[in-house]
């Protein structure tokens, strides 16, 4: 009987131990399963992040290539502007030398004419000298006009070069004595037509103050320049009233 009881007790203990082991195994399996699922989710998230990172990298690479292309174009445009400005400056200096030479010839001719008059030289010779002097004066005027044209072209190129290099801090300086009037205003598109242009020293991106009876009306920025007129847009935040025909304009940033 004692042996039977011992066997029963041993059997119960074995079953309890087996149940405990089964519970521990099941708990470990649940833990392993949870760890596996967590690793799988982390892997999927990592793959998603990697794809997003690659997409962002492709976009950044494309933007970088675009920026490099734009920079190269800007540098090329700057080099062309510098070369053109230097050529215009050399031409202006050459014309200035020719003008000085022509003036000297004119002065010599006038001195010679005065000497002939004092010596009683024949009228025909005097007429020839006068005609020569007139031709020289005409050449002087032509050269002066060509010099002014070159100087304006040089100022325009210098202005464009400064704009390319200066970025947002760039300010166009217009002649301090520049004065003009509004000849037309479009309220829909908010632009004005001015009676001054390239011949007066107006440059693109130059800013002008519009006034009436000494009161500020608006500020405009030049967008298009022709020889005798210019078109300018109203600057946002500076419109204090509606521009009218006859309003006066002066430089917002006059050259010193």
Q: What pLDDT, on a 0 to 100 scale, did the predictor assign at position 94?
A: 84
**Among 170, 202, 225, residue at a domain's last position:** 170
The mean pLDDT of 106-124, rounded to a whole number, is 69
Residue 232 counted as domain residue: yes
Same domain, 29 and 132: yes
Q: Count the Cβ atoms, other than its own, within 10 Å of residue 19.
A: 10
Query: At residue 127, what are phi and psi to the nearest 5 degrees?
Result: -60, -40
Highest mean pLDDT among 21-30, 103-112, 168-177, 232-241: 232-241
Same domain, 2 and 86: yes
Tokens of 88: 């215009």
Asked if 211 and 251 count as a contact pair (C-beta separation under 8 A), the reply is no
Residue with the bigger pLDDT between 120 and 93: it is: 93
Q: What pLDDT, on a 0 to 100 scale, did the predictor assign at position 184?
A: 97
The mean pLDDT of 18-36, rounded to a whole number, is 67
Same domain, 160 and 190: no
Q: What pLDDT, on a 0 to 100 scale, did the predictor assign at position 25?
A: 61
pLDDT level of residue 129 (50, 70, 90 thresholds): low
Same domain, 189 and 79: no
**Among 170, 202, 223, residue at a domain's last position:** 170
Same domain, 114 and 24: yes
Same domain, 5 and 57: yes
Residue with the bigger pLDDT between 238 and 121: it is: 238
Residue with the bigger pLDDT between 219 and 138: it is: 219
pLDDT at 95 over 60: yes
Q: What pLDDT, on a 0 to 100 scale, did the predictor assign at position 185?
A: 97
> In this structure, what CATH number is given to the domain that contains residue 195?
2.40.10
Range of the domain at 15: 1-170
Residue with the bigger pLDDT between 186 and 169: it is: 186
Within a 13 Å sphere around the CA of 242, how many CA atoms are in the beta-carbon half? 8
Long-range contacts of 48-51 (CB under 8 A, 24+ apart): none
pLDDT at 79 over 70: yes
Same domain, 138 and 225: no
Residue 211 counted as domain residue: yes
pTM for the model: 0.46
Same domain, 98 and 164: yes
Residue 116 counted as domain residue: yes
Whole-number Å distance between alpha carbons of 113 and 24:
130
Residue with the bigger pLDDT between 216 and 28: it is: 216
**Among 138, 170, 202, residue at a domain's last position:** 170
Residue 175 counted as domain residue: no
Whole-number Å distance between alpha carbons of 144 and 205:
27
Residue 68 counted as domain residue: yes
pLDDT at 91 over 90: no
β-bridge mates for residue 180, sequence order: 249
Same domain, 150 and 95: yes
Domain count, the chain: 2
Whole-number Å distance between alpha carbons of 102 and 99:
5
Residue 58 counted as domain residue: yes
For helices 123-166 and 2-119, angle between their N-to-C axes, nearest 10 degrees: 170
Residue 256 counted as domain residue: no
pLDDT at 11 over 70: no
Same domain, 244 and 155: no
pLDDT level of residue 6 (50, 70, 90 thresholds): low
Asked if 210 and 248 count as a contact pair (C-beta separation under 8 A), the reply is yes
Same domain, 158 and 189: no
pLDDT at 29 over 90: no
Same domain, 166 and 58: yes
Residue 120 counted as domain residue: yes
Q: What pLDDT, on a 0 to 100 scale, did the predictor assign at position 104?
A: 85
Residue 170 to residues 20, 161, 198, 201, Cα–Cα distance (Å): 83, 10, 20, 18
* Mean pLDDT computed over every residue of the chain: 80
Burial category of 180 from C-beta neighbours within 10 Å (exposed 0-12, middle 13-18, buried 19 and up): buried
Whole-number Å distance between alpha carbons of 65 and 136:
58
pLDDT at 116 over 70: no
């Amino acid at each position: 009987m004692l042996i039977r009881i011992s066997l029963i007790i041993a059997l119960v203990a074995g079953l309890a131990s087996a149940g405990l082991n089964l519970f521990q195994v099941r708990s470990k399996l649940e833990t392993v399963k949870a760890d596996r699922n967590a690793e799988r989710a982390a892997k999927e998230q990592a793959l998603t992040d990697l794809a997003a990172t690659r997409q962002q990298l492709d976009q950044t690479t494309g933007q970088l290539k675009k920026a490099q292309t734009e920079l190269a174009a800007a540098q090329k445009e700057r080099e062309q502007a510098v070369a053109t400005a230097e050529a215009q400056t050399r031409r202006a200096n050459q014309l200035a030398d020719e003008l000085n030479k022509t003036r000297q010839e004119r002065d010599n001719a006038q001195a010679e004419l005065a000497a002939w008059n004092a010596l009683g030289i024949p009228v025909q010779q005097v007429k020839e000298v006068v005609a020569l002097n007139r031709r020289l004066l005409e050449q002087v005027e032509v050269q002066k006009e060509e010099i002014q044209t070159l100087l304006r072209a040089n100022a325009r190129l210098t202005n464009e070069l400064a704009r390319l290099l200066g970025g947002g801090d760039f300010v166009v300086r217009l002649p301090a004595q520049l004065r003009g009037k509004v000849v037309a205003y479009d309220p829909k598109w908010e632009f004005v037509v001015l009676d001054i242009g390239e011949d007066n020293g107006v440059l693109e991106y130059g800013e002008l103050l519009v006034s009436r009876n000494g009161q500020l009306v608006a500020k405009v920025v030049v967008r298009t320049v022709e020889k005798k007129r210019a078109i300018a847009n109203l600057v946002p935040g500076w419109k204090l009233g509606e521009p009218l025909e006859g309003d006066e304009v002066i430089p917002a940033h006059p050259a010193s």
